């Protein structure tokens, strides 16, 4: 089989690409900096470094919003340039397999297909795969078995809770909030409590450094710089883990309630499998400390964390396209739409 195969996860926050030829996952921020309304100035990590710091002439955007493509043209330009840079010009005629969220329309799924099929890369084929299925394969689960597995993928803009069996989705719920909403909660809580305005990047750093799913071990703190609402001047302030916990607990409880709702609708035989194997959590925002403990307290079911949870979808995609055993889990959108 050819090595010219790419597994692509177009995430809201990060773009993850598994290139079979080099055998590793390329991971960059899914961010674009634009000048003159439509000219790309920078992309990826370089563009993200400009976020909240750029002058008015440079517009920094995120082309994926709520898990779907919001800026088709710039997303296509970025992914083409990104792949050409890392593939050393061997991108033409490649095979792509792209992860798509479950609860989106056929038109939104077609945008994921068209971004590659209509590009100058002239791909050999473009296959799509439901994100939770790719997640499960990336976690090392044998999804072809008649065994239930529950995957909770907490991304930047969406949280996808799915129950999988026999290579298909039995139940799935796509919540339109994730890590970004948690960041916004930290910003508003700190502004309300301390009259301090902080940026999105600072809030993200607080979440990653001090965030916790349970009210324990909250003795850490972090110094941040923000703008005092009263004086209008920049000041330094020490923020404790307790403050971050208070800001984020409602959002985390909302995810817990959605997990409970899916479990209530799960058929008894699949529920038995889930109790036996546990709940699997993936996605960048699942790295919040003690989140597994919180979910276990709420559901009384063991929670499994994984290494590099933000890259599990990309790992699963390449396994699906490379292994005949999993090949049937992907689909061609044209075949599926018009047969």
102 plus 27 within the same structural domain: yes
Report the C-alpha gap between 219 and 223 in whole angstroms: 14
Residues 216 and 186 in one domain: yes
Sign of the CA dihedral running 67, 68, 72, 77: positive
Low-confidence ranges of the chain (pLDDT < 50): 337-339
Q: What is the pLDDT of residue 63?
A: 95
Helix (H, G, I), strand (E, B) or coil at 143: coil
Query: Do residue 50 and residue 88 come from a single domain?
Result: yes
The parent domain of residue 68 ranges over 5-134+312-338
CA distance 154 to 134: 14
Are 169 and 132 in contact, with CB atoms under 8 Å apart? Answer: yes
- Within this chain, do residues 328 and 296 fall inside the same structural domain, yes or no? no
Structure tokens at 105: 């329309």
Does 89 lie in the same domain as 42?
yes
Which pLDDT does position 16 carry in this prediction?
A: 95
Count of structural domains, the chain: 2
pLDDT for position 88: 66
What is the per-residue pLDDT across 266-290, written as a single tens digit (0 to 9) for each?
999 999 999 999 999 999 999 999 9
The answer to whether 140 touches 270, Cβ cutoff 8 Å, is: no
Domain match, 128 and 14 both: yes
pLDDT value of position 229: 96
Tell me, yes or no, whether 18 and 125 share the same domain. yes
Name the phi and psi angles at 288, rounded to 5. Answer: -60, 135
Same-domain check for residues 283 and 147: yes
Cβ–Cβ contacts within 10 Å for residue 338, how many?
6
Question: What local confidence, expressed as pLDDT, does residue 335 receive?
Answer: 59
Supply the pLDDT for residue 322: 83
Residue-level pLDDT at 93? 86
- What's the CATH code of the domain at 82? 3.30.420.40
Token pair recorded at residue 202: 């600072």
Contact 122, 92 (CB under 8 A): yes
Report the b/e string of 23-34 with b at 16+ CB within 10 A: eebbbbbbbbbb
Claim to verify: residue 68 and residue 99 sit in the same structural domain: yes
Reported pTM: 0.92
Q: Is the dihedral of CA 148, 134, 100, 208 positive or negative?
A: positive
Q: How many C-beta atoms lie closer than 10 Å to residue 50's C-beta? A: 16
Task: Verify that 172 and 34 share a domain, yes or no.
Answer: no
In the numeric block, the tokens 């490379």 are attached to: 322
Domain co-membership, 211 together with 232: yes
- 235 with 273, same domain? yes
């Amino acid at each position: 089989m050819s090595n010219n195969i790419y597994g692509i996860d177009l995430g809201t926050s990060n773009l993850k690409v598994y290139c079979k030829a080099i055998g590793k996952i390329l991971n960059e921020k899914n961010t674009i900096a634009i000048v003159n309304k439509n000219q790309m100035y920078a992309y990826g990590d370089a563009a993200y470094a400009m976020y909240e710091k750029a002058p008015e002439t440079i517009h920094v955007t995120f082309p994926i919003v709520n898990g779907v493509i919001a800026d088709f043209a710039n997303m296509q330009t970025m992914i083409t340039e990104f792949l050409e840079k890392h593939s050393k010009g061997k991108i033409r005629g490649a095979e792509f397999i792209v992860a798509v969220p479950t609860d989106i329309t056929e038109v939104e799924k077609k945008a994921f297909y068209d971004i590659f099929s209509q590009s100058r890369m002239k791909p050999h084929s473009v296959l799509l795969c439901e994100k939770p299925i790719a997640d499960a394969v990336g976690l090392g689960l044998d999804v072809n078995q008649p065994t239930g597995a529950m995957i909770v993928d907490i991304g930047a803009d969406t949280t996808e809770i799915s129950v999988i069996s026999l290579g298909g989705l039995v139940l799935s719920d796509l919540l339109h909030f994730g890590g970004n909403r948690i960041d916004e909660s930290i910003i508003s809580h700190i502004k309300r409590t301390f009259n301090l305005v902080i940026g999105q990047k600072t809030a993200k750093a607080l979440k990653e450094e001090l965030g916790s799913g349970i009210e324990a071990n909250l003795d850490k703190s972090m110094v941040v710089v923000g703008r005092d609402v009263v004086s209008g001047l920049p000041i330094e302030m020490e923020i404790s883990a307790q403050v971050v916990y208070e800001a984020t607990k409602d959002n985390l409880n909302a995810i817990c309630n959605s997990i409970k709702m899916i479990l209530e609708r799960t058929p008894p035989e699949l529920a038995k499998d889930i109790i036996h194997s546990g709940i699997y959590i993936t996605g960048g925002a699942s790295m919040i400390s003690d989140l597994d403990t919180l979910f276990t307290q709420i559901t009384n079911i063991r929670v499994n964390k994984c290494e590099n949870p933000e890259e599990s979808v990309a790992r699963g995609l390449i396994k699906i396209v490379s292994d005949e055993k999993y090949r049937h889990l992907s689909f061609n959108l044209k075949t599926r739409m018009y047969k």
